[in-house]
A and B are shown apart, each in its own frame.
Chain A
Amino acid sequence: QQQVKQSPQSLIVQKGGISIINCAYENTAFDYFPWYQQFPGKGPALLIAIRPDVSEKKEGRFTISFNKSAKQFSLHIMDSQPGDSATYFCAAQTSGSRLTFGEGTQLTVNP
């Protein structure tokens, strides 16, 4: 019940395209859903996060869509750039508890 399932495992997108990564969870007690971006040899960095009381959050080219009834959330990267090539992790958390990470998606944006 603590798992967060992420797909796809890898994604290749052309420059300027839209990258979409999906996550699903089971635990309805989760109340915070962050996305992290990780470059090779570096620690993860918080990209954007959402709480379940909103259905969408946008920051620049990055948008989280959240579907509470389906227990799913997704990251959309608009106008994808080669510099966006990295591994993306979704995560979920309940108040005061640890983060539960998805398996990760390796995104490659071709020039």
Chain B
Amino acid sequence: GAVVSQHPSRVICKSGTSVKIECRSLDFQATTMFWYRQFPKQSLMLMATSNEGSKATYEQGVEKDKFLINHASLTLSTLTVTSAHPEDSSFYICSASGGSIHEQYFGPGTRLTVT
């Protein structure tokens, strides 16, 4: 099956610093990648959709200048949380979609803690 990896799996950073999270599709080319955040005991909330080589489309209420998304290749997308604050602490999950327009394969998630 299709495999999506995320790095790092967990990160702790100080308030005001920036953190970059990588999402890679390991065995397929991901034309579209999605970034979600998930708070404890809640559902996944879509933050943005990115297509390779073009700007990401952000969901309403998501600050594009705070959550920078780059999808520079068909196997890599990055999410950078800029000037992180404690309220940005969450579980960030990416997913990738290749040939099938319906199937999305999820990464293992990244636990971000901002102190």
- A-side residues, CB < 8 A to B, are 32, 34, 36, 41-46, 49, 89, 93, 95-96, 98-99, 101-104, 106
B103 contacts A46, C-beta separation under 8 Å:
yes
* Nearest Cβ on chain B to A64's Cβ, whole angstroms: 15
A34–B104 Cα distance when bound, in Å, is 10
B44 contacts A44, C-beta separation under 8 Å:
yes
B42 contacts A42, C-beta separation under 8 Å:
no
In the complex, besides A42-B109, A43-B4, 15 extra interface pairs with C-beta distance below 8 angstroms are A41-B91, A41-B109, A41-B111, A43-B6, A43-B107, A43-B108, A46-B106, A89-B43, A95-B101, A96-B101, A99-B34, A99-B104, A101-B43, A104-B43, A106-B41
A95–B97 Cα distance when bound, in Å, is 12
A35–B101 Cα distance when bound, in Å, is 16
* Nearest Cβ on chain B to A21's Cβ, whole angstroms: 13
A42 neighbours in B (Cβ, 8 Å): 108-109
